[in-house]
């Protein structure tokens, strides 16, 4: 495998910095950005992970990174990755109150230039800076000032408007998009949203850390019971389970890390966010999987970008999800959110398929990570 341009040789010493406004590398929940960071470590890169949008306000909002409060503003190395959770006094956020949001939108530029020697010192030597599409876009000008030669990559697993980012974020992303060398999309369905960078759009799919998946524990379920599992909190629709638990009293539902208070039911068990590896036995040994997304702007891309749906495919588990997330997969059964009969039909169809789905194969995350860094070196990253 060859890397492009001046970054081809001696990549053992190449520096990669990730910037996220929601994830810290050390949180139990694992998104693809964590997996790509691990994949780059395995490939021999020096990796740093900066987590921002964290302040005293985070205590009010129940941020998943609160357990790291006393480790914020300190660089800690975990699994070979330098981790920096940048805590400030306050941070701007979306209020969904028009006139207040118009004021808050002007604060992002001030927030983006808050002094931090650690942030700056991690950016300055970087060969690549990978930002999640969304709030990290506010740092584009700062990154370019600190390190004019770094390759800046926008990793787009979600559309900012879909996940409810402040409207100013999309505006900043468009205005400063010229500073980004490449936009990596998890779904070609997102291309229209990123129209302003159509000459720099590429796509990558999912990967698997095969070592992590090679020694999954025993089933956490009771023998003989049909089980349905949901993992994660993105666009989580708790109303799905109000319908499903009543309609299928003999089906045991397990919901992990939804971040939502749910109506108790005798056939529903809920768990707080847990380490990724601890979720795998629940997924592998389930009868069916559930991806209970609620509708939002442009959600059709979830058919390609949903990590939980990809994991269900990897284990050969039929999945229930809204029609907009079915895509071309034959192992997914769609339903209309809020429609009781539609949900019943989808669950029944999935249960009938249990044990009959062929598992899907995925590349290693290291292979995916190289496509994120150097997409022009691979033919399968083209949107065409």
pLDDT in tens, 186-230: 999 999 999 999 999 999 999 988 888 888 989 999 877 899 999
Per-range mean pLDDT, top range of 115-124, 162-171, 256-265 = 115-124
108 closest CA partner among 37, 172, 63: 172
Percentage helix, strand, coil, to 5, in the chain? Answer: 40, 20, 40
* pLDDT at position 8 over 60: no
342 closest CA partner among 255, 253, 247: 247
| Number of other CB atoms surrounding residue 46 within 10 Å | 19
Whole-number pLDDT of residue 295 = 95
pTM: 0.86
From the candidates 24, 63, 127, 158, give the one annotated as an active-site residue.
158
Whole-number pLDDT of residue 111 = 94
Instruction: Return the domain boundaries, the chain.
Output: 5-207+364-381, 227-353
Intrachain domains 5-207+364-381 and 227-353 with the same fold: yes
pLDDT digits (tens, 9 = 90+) for 301-354: 999 999 999 999 999 999 999 999 999 999 999 999 999 999 999 999 999 999
Tell me the percentage of the chain whose pLDDT exceeds 70.
97
pLDDT digits (tens, 9 = 90+) for 286-302: 999 999 999 999 999 99
Task: Give the chain's mean pLDDT.
Answer: 93
* pLDDT at position 3 over 80: no
CATH code that applies to domain 227-353: 3.40.50.2000
* pLDDT at position 9 over 70: no
130 closest CA partner among 39, 18, 40: 18
Bridge partners of 277, per DSSP, are none
Domain 5-207+364-381 in this protein, CATH class:
alpha beta
**Catalytic status, residue 304:** no
């Amino acid at each position: 495998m060859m890397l492009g341009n001046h970054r081809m040789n001696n990549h053992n010493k190449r520096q990669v910095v990730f910037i996220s406004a929601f994830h810290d590398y050390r949180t139990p929940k694992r998104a693809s950005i964590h997996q790509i960071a691990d994949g780059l470590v395995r490939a021999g890169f020096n990796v740093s992970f900066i987590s921002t949008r964290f302040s005293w306000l985070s205590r009010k909002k129940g941020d998943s990174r609160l357990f790291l409060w006393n480790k914020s503003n300190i660089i800690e190395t975990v699994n070979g990755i330098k981790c920096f959770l940048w805590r400030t006094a306050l941070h701007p956020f979306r209020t969904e109150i028009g006139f207040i949001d118009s004021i808050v939108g002007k604060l992002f530029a001030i927030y983006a230039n808050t002094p931090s020697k650690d942030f700056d010192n991690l950016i300055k030597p970087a060969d690549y800076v990978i930002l999640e599409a969304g709030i990290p876009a506010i740092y584009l000008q700062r990154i370019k000032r600190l390190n004019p030669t770094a390759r800046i990559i926008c990793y787009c697993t979600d559309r900012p408007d879909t996940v409810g980012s402040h409207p100013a974020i999309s505006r900043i992303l468009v205005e400063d998009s010229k500073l980004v060398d490449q936009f990596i999309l998890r779904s070609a369905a997102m291309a229209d949203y990123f129209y302003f960078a159509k000459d720099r759009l590429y796509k990558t799919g999912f990967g698997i850390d095969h070592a992590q998946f090679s020694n999954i524990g025993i089933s956490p379920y009771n023998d003989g019971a049909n089980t349905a599992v949901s993992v994660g909190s993105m666009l989580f629709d708790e109303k799905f389970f109000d319908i499903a638990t009543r309609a299928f009293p003999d089906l045991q539902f397990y919901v992990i890390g939804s971040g939502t208070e749910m109506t108790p039911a005798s056939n529903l068990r809920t768990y707080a966010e847990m380490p990724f590896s601890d979720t795998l036995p629940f997924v592998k040994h389930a009868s069916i999987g559930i991806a209970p997304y609620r509708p939002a702007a442009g959600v059709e891309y979830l058919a390609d970008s949903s990590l939980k749906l990809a994991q269900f495919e990897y284990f050969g588990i039929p999945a229930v999800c809204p029609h907009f997330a079915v895509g071309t997969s034959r192992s997914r059964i769609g339903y209309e959110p809020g429609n009781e009969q539609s949900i019943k039909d989808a669950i029944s169809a999935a249960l009938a398929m249990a044990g009959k789905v062929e598992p899907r194969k995925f590349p290693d995350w290291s292979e995916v990570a190289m496509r994120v860094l150097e997409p022009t070196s691979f033919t399968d990253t083209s949107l065409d």
